[in-house]
């Protein structure tokens, strides 16, 4: 597996959200997907991109 992992703070910055918003989404079992390594939370950049794609709104449809 050769995918980049980022921490919560980096993921929040990448998505334009606050770390507390990501924490709330995890608590509610909502995307984006994340990885738990011990007590650490990490995000695959690929999953963050998929999360953004899934929220894309195309006004021409």
Residue written as tokens 């990501």? 22
On whether residue 60 sits in a domain, the answer given is no
- Alpha helices by DSSP H, listed for the chain, are 8-15, 19-27, 45-54
Number of domains in the chain: 1
Does the structure show a pLDDT above 70 at 56? yes
For the chain, what is the radius of gyration of the CA atoms? Answer: 12
Does the structure show a pLDDT above 80 at 61? no
Quote the domain boundaries for residue 26.
5-54
b/e per residue 42-60 (b: at least 16 CB within 10 A)? bbbeebbeebeeeeeeeee
pLDDT at residue 3, as a whole number = 84
On whether residue 39 sits in a domain, the answer given is yes
- The string of pLDDT tens digits covering residues 8-53 is 999 999 999 999 999 999 999 999 999 999 999 999 999 999 999 9
Residue 2 confidence class, pLDDT cut points 50, 70, 90:
low
On whether residue 59 sits in a domain, the answer given is no
Q: Residues near 2 by Cβ (< 8 Å), separated by ≥ 6? A: none
Model pTM score: 0.87
On whether residue 16 sits in a domain, the answer given is yes
């Amino acid at each position: 597996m050769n995918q980049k992992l980022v921490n919560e703070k980096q993921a929040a910055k990448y998505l334009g959200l606050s770390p507390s918003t990501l924490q709330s989404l995890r608590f509610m079992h909502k995307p984006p997907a994340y990885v738990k390594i011990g007590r650490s939370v990490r995000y695959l950049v690929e999953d963050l991109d998929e999360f953004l794609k899934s929220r894309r709104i195309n006004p021409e449809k």
